[in-house]
Structure 1
Amino acid sequence: MIRHILLIKFKASVQSSQITAVKTLFETMPDKIEGVVDVEWGLNDSPEGMNKNFTHAVLMTFADEAARAHYLPHPQHEALKEEFVPLLDDIIVFDYPV
């Protein structure tokens, strides 16, 4: 399996309804793309103050490297990016095998 972590900092102008719409797009990926096993969405609540203004996280699980390779150019992923990327102030993407 492959874990795909996104740490997200949205632009200050982004509305909560836009964030909710993006959350829904992410959470429906397992139903739309074979090999996407699971998606978790979270809002930072660490009391340590070490998040460097990143407020949200997405944790995706792919069945294997082939599933990740299938996901990256997939039309549903491209559609998600069209909605998501314009809202970003910054993002960190980190993948690792499990």
Structure 2
Amino acid sequence: MIRHIVLVRFQPAVSSAVIDDLFAELHQIEGKLPGLLSITSGRSESPERIERGYLHGFVADFSNWEALEAYQQHPDHKRFGARLVAHAEGGLDGILVFDLPAQTEGSPT
């Protein structure tokens, strides 16, 4: 499984309603792509408070690298990504992406 982790530092003027709309758009891709297992999105609730301005984000789990590639090429993802970049502080500089191969329950490390 591949865990696609995206953290966003939104521009200060971006409202909660716009952020909610962005994440609603993101979730619309669920069920459209084989190998997209789940998406979880929202605002950090970390008690450590060391987000360094990256207060929002999402995690999308994919069955394999090919499924992640299909997601990255999908027109819905490209449209969503452009909107996300437009609202992030500094554009692409306000977004962190980390792709982590993760074991699923019962699989070897």
TM-score surpassing 0.5?
Answer: yes
> Is the Cα–Cα contact under 8 Å of residues 85 and 95 in structure 2 kept in the other structure?
no
Corresponding position of 2:105: none
Larger Rg: 2
Counterpart residue number, 2:65: 65
Corresponding pairs, count: 98
Counterpart in the other structure of 1:18: 18
Identity rate of aligned residues, in percent?
Answer: 30
More strand by share: 1
- Whether the 8 Å contact between 1:4 and 1:61 is mirrored in structure 2 is yes
SS at match of 1:18: helix
Runs of 5+ in structure 1 lacking a partner? Answer: none
Query: What does residue range 32-71 of structure 1 map to in structure 2 within 5 Å?
Result: 32-71=32-71
| 1:91 aligned residue | 95
Q: Which runs of 5+ in 2 are unaligned?
A: 103-109
Using the size of structure 1 for normalisation, the TM-score is 0.91
Letter matched to residue 97 of structure 1? P
